[in-house]
Amino acid sequence: MPPSSATSTNPSTRPCPCDSGKPFARCCEPFLTGKEAPRTVKQLMRSRYTAFALGGYGNYLHATWHPNTVGMVMAEDLDVAEIPWVGLTILDDEQKGDRGRVEFKTRYRDDDGVEHVHHEHSAFLRVNGKWLYLEGKVREE
């Protein structure tokens, strides 16, 4: 098979949904499949966005959510890509010790195709060497 045919049919070679500019296979896929763990809060944020955007990664989303704040949300609840996410922009990120934060904007389309922005400040905590999403505060646009 010619390389161009393989590239067009292999989802791992397409650009990662997190807008990093890297192929999915070298960006978020290793995190979503458990082959690697995010080393930074920015990597965790990007991979969680990708999991939401693609759907089918509820186990990953649940496993990377701090148990004190996940509440009654189950992995199955997180599996379905309910919102058509269309882009991620990381505005700021910071890590100090076992605490981190990321400010980001995501874009999504409503049922009428109108694009909207979700602007959030997320907090992360590293527990036993693993970064976990703690909470997010949404900013009104």
Q: pLDDT value at position 52?
A: 95
Q: Averaged over 125-140, what is the pLDDT?
A: 95
Q: What is the pLDDT of residues 17-34, one digit of tens each?
A: 999 999 999 999 999 999
The whole-angstrom separation of Cα 85 and Cα 17 is 9
Q: Is the pLDDT of residue 8 over 60?
A: no
pTM: 0.89
For 74-82, which contacts have Cβ atoms below 8 Å and span 24 or more sequence positions?
A: 78/51, 78/52, 79/55, 80/55, 81/52, 81/53, 81/54, 81/55, 81/56
Q: pLDDT value at position 141?
A: 67
**Residue found by looking up tokens 């922009």 in the block:** 89
Q: What is the pLDDT of residues 74-129, one digit of tens each?
A: 999 999 888 999 999 999 999 999 999 999 999 999 999 999 999 999 999 999 99
Q: Averaged over 39-59, what is the pLDDT?
A: 97
Q: State the maximum Cα–Cα separation within the chain, in Å, rounded to a whole number.
A: 50
User: Which residue ranges form the domains of the chain, and what is each CATH number?
Assistant: 15-139 (3.10.450.50)
Q: pLDDT value at position 29?
A: 97
Q: pLDDT category, 140, cuts 50, 70, 90? A: confident
Q: What percent of the chain has pLDDT over 90?
A: 86
Q: Which two three-digit tokens encode residue 92? A: 């700021």
